[in-house]
Amino acid sequence: MNRLTKKIFAAVLAVVSLGALAGCGSSTVETSGPKITIGIKFDQPGVGYKEGDSYSGFDVDVARYVAKQLGYSEKQIVWKEAPSAQREALLQNGDVDFIIASYSITADRKKVVDFAGPYFVAGQDLLVRSDDKSITSAKDLNGKNLCTVSGSTSAQVIKDNFAKSVQIMELSGYAECVTALISGTVDAVTTDDIILAGLAHAKGNGLLKVLGKPFTKETYGIGVKKGDSQLVTTINAALKKMVSDGTWQKDLTKETGGTGYTPNKEWNPPTKFNAENSDETVRQ
Ligand code: GLU
């Protein structure tokens, strides 16, 4: 038995035995029992967000659903921040059991970690100031200052495709990029459309807009430690259930409602949980 399988076994045993003690077998019986550590983003409203002691966003909803299918109650989840550049290391070091953090499945990442999913498909886009008419597509970034986050596919796409003509400011998180955009230090922020929509809505004060012309396909996977195929299979079964029982749609609508964001209907919800790579080809 690997580490997580042992923990899942212990969690199920704890719930069952407490249920038996209570004489009802009810799933509402709480146990402090074993914990599961899940890596999420803390600075992406609507996706992965920490405010005080509460955690919200679609990634968090997916994490809660998957954890429940694995036998863990909400109280048994330990949330750990998983910034873009640290995700592989967190998995490799065993600091987290899995990561749900707007984590695109890519060929490079698959060399060092494994993925369940995808559970969502986004696309890279641009966030600009609402009154800026000079940027209507990625091509207009020539000579402009662009903020992107270290360790993200977004940074790589920009480096590969626009690096010659754009000044890139690479920061450690999305909140920092938004501050730089509002203050005028940069002219645009780039990452996935679902993240930008949440940032504009929650942090933009009406001053920011998403262009709405995504130029990559980002398939979001759940990162697990390399070689843990059993966990991948279990998580995939949970994701399939989340889509088929309607929870996936309900949660996505709840998290993106009011942001003006419409997920790509052709790509969502994913129907094949085969860890298909993101398409890093820029489409403009
Ligand atoms: N989905 C992209 C990635 O995995 C960008 C979002 C992020 O940095 O989490 O790199």
Any alpha helices (H) in 47-128, and if so which ranges? 58-69, 87-92, 107-110
Predicted pLDDT of residue 160 = 79
For residues 144 and 167, is the Cβ–Cβ distance under 8 A?
yes
Predicted pLDDT of residue 195 = 98
Q: How far apart are CA 253 and CA 256, in angstroms?
A: 5
- Whole-model pTM: value is 0.89
For residues 232 and 105, is the Cβ–Cβ distance under 8 A?
no
List, for the chain, all residue ranges whose pLDDT scores fall below the cut of 50: 13-29
The Å distance, Cα 22 to ligand 1 centre, comes to 45
Decide whether any atom of ligand 1 lies within 6 Å of the 73 Cβ.
no
Which of 73, 88, 2, 107 lies closest to 39, judged by CA? 88
Decide whether any atom of ligand 1 lies within 6 Å of the 190 Cβ.
no
Decide whether any atom of ligand 1 lies within 6 Å of the 124 Cβ.
no
Decide whether any atom of ligand 1 lies within 6 Å of the 152 Cβ.
yes
Closest ligand 1 atom to residue 174 Cα is 8
Q: How far apart are CA 236 and CA 271, in angstroms?
A: 11
Decide whether any atom of ligand 1 lies within 6 Å of the 82 Cβ.
no
CATH of domain 3-121+219-256: 3.40.190.10
Decide whether any atom of ligand 1 lies within 6 Å of the 37 Cβ.
no
| Residues making up the chain, counted from first to last | 284
Closest ligand 1 atom to residue 156 Cα is 10
Predicted pLDDT of residue 279 = 82
Beta bridge partners of 127: 189, 210
Measured distance between the N- and C-terminal CA atoms of the chain, rounded to whole angstroms: 48
Q: How far apart are CA 72 and CA 34, in angstroms?
A: 8
For residues 147 and 181, is the Cβ–Cβ distance under 8 A?
yes
The Å distance, Cα 149 to ligand 1 centre, comes to 8
Q: How far apart are CA 189 and CA 64, in angstroms?
A: 29
Predicted pLDDT of residue 158 = 78
The Å distance, Cα 10 to ligand 1 centre, comes to 33
Predicted pLDDT of residue 118 = 98
The Å distance, Cα 206 to ligand 1 centre, comes to 24
Q: Please state the domain extents for the chain.
A: 3-121+219-256, 124-210
Predicted pLDDT of residue 7 = 62
The Å distance, Cα 85 to ligand 1 centre, comes to 9
- Tokens representing residue 281 in the block: 């080809």
Give 59-93 pLDDT, tens digit per residue: 999 999 999 999 999 999 999 999 999 999 999 99
Domains 3-121+219-256 and 124-210 are alike in CATH topology = yes
Decide whether any atom of ligand 1 lies within 6 Å of the 148 Cβ.
no
The Å distance, Cα 246 to ligand 1 centre, comes to 26
| Residues near 178 by beta carbon (within 8 Å), at least 6 away in sequence | 127, 189, 199, 203, 204, 208
Q: What is the DSSP string of 13-59?
A: HHHHHHHHHHTS--TT-------EEEEE-SEETTTEEEETTEEESHH
Decide whether any atom of ligand 1 lies within 6 Å of the 154 Cβ.
yes
Closest ligand 1 atom to residue 41 Cα is 9
Residue identifier of the C-alpha nearest atom 8 of ligand 1: 152
CATH of domain 124-210: 3.40.190.10
CA dihedral 13, 14, 19, 20 (to 10 degrees): 60
Residue identifier of the C-alpha nearest atom 5 of ligand 1: 152
Predicted pLDDT of residue 114 = 98
Query: Would you put residue 240 in left (φ > 0), alpha (ψ -120 to 50) or beta?
Result: alpha
Phi and psi of 79, rounded to 5°?
-90, 135
Give 234-274 pLDDT, tens digit per residue: 999 999 999 999 999 999 999 999 999 999 999 999 999 99
